[in-house]
A and B are shown apart, each in its own frame.
Chain A
Amino acid sequence: MKKNFVAAAVAAIMSVGVAAPVFAETPPNMLVIANRIDDIKTLDPGESFEFAGSDVSRNVYEKLVNFDPLDLDAGYQPELAESWEISEDGKTITFTIAEGHVFSSGNPVTAKDAEFSLRRAVLLDKTPSFILTQFGLTADNVEETIKATDDRTLVLTLDKPYALSFVLNCLTSTIGGIVDMASAMENEVDGDMGNDWLRTNTVGSGPYKVVEWKPNESVLMDLNPNFHGDKPAMERVIVQHIQESATQRLQLERGDIDVARNLSPEDVAGLADVEGVKVVDELRGRLMYFSANQKKELMADPKVIEALKYATDYAGMSDSFLKGQYTVHQAFLPLTFLGALEEKPYSYDMDAAKAALAESGFPDCGPIKISVRDAQERMDIAQSLQNTWGQLGCDVELIVGTGAQTLDRYRAREHDIYLGAWGPDYPDPNTNAGTFAVNPDNSDEAGATGLLAWRNAWGIPEMSEKTLAAVVENDTEKRKQMYLDLQREHQKTSPFGIMFQQIEQNGMGASVENFVAGGATTEVSYWVITK
């Protein structure tokens, strides 16, 4: 017995030396993805607010309204709600819940579950709760404002007549995910509405359910047997945490994985000639920008900011280390959003930069500290800024830190220049306008750390009013024009130097079809994928 055991072990080891891994390709009904998923802290849709977490959530939880992955441009579509009506005064929305949707637990989806899920998101008061509370839904009034009048009817009552598209767009975000009330409450601990349990378990009516989540390692999803839609071709989805681009590329080349989601421009170029592999580009909503703290004398001089904007080598960067992965974009709304402005008033122009600087109060520039987190592409951008701004005569120093460190300084308004990224929280223009162009009270006491304008001490009472007016404008054309005007003004006067918009380049096996990362508005959808 023991001898056989040893013999088998030896045989197994010996065979490794010569043979590559056993499978040459992944099984046909299984999708294997390499991605960076170390940001997942929770799977609870009322709490989850990270990229990789939202990817999971979209495939597990259905929402009242949602995007069709194969036609993202069509905007929100019915999902759990088959129809909705808005009242005369524009403050009350009545949803009719569709029949036939069933949670992975076997319970049918009713309006009660929707009521529970939305109330719960407000009551838990986790980071993403602002997406719902901005409509005047609060812990004190949810009993009245979010109400299931019967099993198929849900009524939302808002404090203002917001643009309907704004409200519904918000409901498509992760926090709009509908959970099974019965399962959540069975696992309630100390009145947490199942929060602790839902951090590591899922119970939604979407196409998949999470079987296992190992933090920083992998997420394993299997089909939800009760999913009401067509049975997805991929019966099992595994997302493996692979940090390095080079590793993801090698795994893709060897057929160990189907999709590689974090390829560097060099590795994308390296895949160009590889047989059986393709790269699919998709415009995402993430912006890369620098911003200047208006508390600092040097940074508060508009001519200095203008000089810095001209002394930035946009094309140089997007043609070299950002090649294929970022496109030059200079307005706060990402392309494909309603009202996104395509104009690019700034280009790398040293003469214009020097002229602007000469007109400023600091013709010799001065010391500038760029606060940046230790991620490769940001470090590369920071070093390029250091180089070109240095040619203006500025003495640029990089202050590198971890994400939390850098963010801490930013929120405390202690930076000179912050180099960062911003991704939309929900697919409505207000998600960015409401942070880049709103800051009615610039005092330290206001502590509006959620607003980028406040973090940069940019007090803009007038622009704030214009921005807030746009969310209650129900005429889409007018609303669009309002955002275009806002962005033009913002480009000229703001201390924000918006530089790039992200293009996600996903490498995948040639046979993989319908892999949609989610565009600028939503997340990945595994259920439509075939291979």
Chain B
Amino acid sequence: MTTANLRDWLLSDAPTSRRQARFASWYKGWLTLRSNTLAMVGLIVLALIILAAIFAPVLATHDPYAQDLGQRLLGAGHSGHLLGTDSLGRDIYSRLLYGARISIYIVLLVAMVAPLVGLIVGTVSGYAGGWGDVVLMRITDIFLAFPRLILALAFVAALGAGIENAVLAISLTAWPPYARIARAETLTIRNSDYIHAIRLQGAGPFRIVTRHIWPLCISSLVIRVTLDMAGIILTAAALGFLGLGAQPPSPEWGAMISEGRKYILDYWWVATFPGLAIFAISLAFNLLGDGLRDMLDPKEDTA
């Protein structure tokens, strides 16, 4: 099949199979996204950051952990240090590359845990109804009423500082909105003829929720997660900045800003480069998420 043929097949007005229809709608979405310059910029930046993280060992010029107290706080370009060195003489450029791995690792973990918790709580709540619904939604409201960062701080303080616990804490504060979305979706699906028919065939509640309701909730959750990615990165960085995220000597970007903060007056680059890195990755996620939203929901979501 040539490229032109493929294109025709994808853009066909009369798809001949479900598979073709699905691929076609994805392809059309892709075309919409591609015409959105800002979203494409986001995608490219993101791809570059991911590549940098994957190939960090190849791209790095120094061991990100190697200290040299005689070579500390050097400016950009000095003695082969592309972006200078930090207070312990470690190469900032190499640390940023390795730091990208940590940020991406955190985002991926949270993006898996939080929506899953929300999905379970929301669908169970919506499907069960009655007291179960009331109790679960009350719990959701309690977590929503909490000051977010403070709740995350409290969890990390209770569990001990570290990346895994930071992920857990961010997830614990991030799940309630997903639960609400999942519940709303469940309520509309629950009484549909389709579900009634399945119930008549003898399917139990567990099977109905996991096999039939979950798949339908997932698309709205995915949009929301993409939009939340930047927020997750910023929260993780904030925890690192407050000393509760990744622990030294790990090159987590928030922690690097925190270390460089002391030197901001005379050695501005130590805190500035990791700041720019955080900004770049979260802006990339935001641009992409914004484009995705336009693509999947052109009437402009209001939440």
Contacts and interface: CB of A to CB of B under 8 A. Distances in A.
Interface of A: 244-246, 249-250, 264, 266-267, 269-270, 313, 316-317, 319-321, 374, 376, 379-380, 382-384, 386-387, 398, 400-402
A383 B157 CA distance: 22
Contacts of A319: 69
A387 B63 CA distance: 12
B143 interface: no
Nearest to B244: A374
A382 B243 CA distance: 15
Contact of B72 (A264, A320, A387): A320
Contacts of B89: 320
Nearest to B262: A264
Given A379-B248, A386-B249, A401-B161, A374 B243 contact: yes
Contacts of A384: 67, 69, 88
Interface string B245-288: 00111000000000101111111000000000000000000000
A398 B262 contact: no
9 contacts: A246-B265, A270-B265, A270-B266, A321-B69, A380-B87, A387-B65, A387-B88, A398-B248, A401-B161
A429 to B, nearest CB: 33
Given A266-B267, A398-B247, A400-B161, A246 B69 contact: no
A388 to B, nearest CB: 9
Contacts, number: 63
Contacts of A382: 248
A402 B243 CA distance: 9
A313 B89 CA distance: 14
A250 B265 contact: yes
Contacts of B161: 400-401
Considering residues A245, A249, A319, A379, which has the most beta carbons from chain B within 10 angstroms of its beta carbon? A379
A383 B262 contact: no
Considering residues A320, A376, A386, which has the most beta carbons from chain B within 10 angstroms of its beta carbon? A320
Contact of B262 (A246, A250, A316): A246
Q: Which 8 A-B pairs have the closest CB atoms?
A: A320-B69, A374-B243, A316-B69, A387-B67, A246-B265, A270-B266, A266-B263, A400-B247
Considering residues B72, B259, B266, which has the most beta carbons from chain A within 10 angstroms of its beta carbon? B266
B69 A267 contact: no
Contacts of A264: 262-263
B158 to A, nearest CB: 11
A384 B265 CA distance: 24
A389 to B, nearest CB: 12
Interface in B155-208: 157, 160-161
B264 A246 contact: yes
B88 A383 contact: yes
Interface in B203-224: none
Nearest to A250: B265
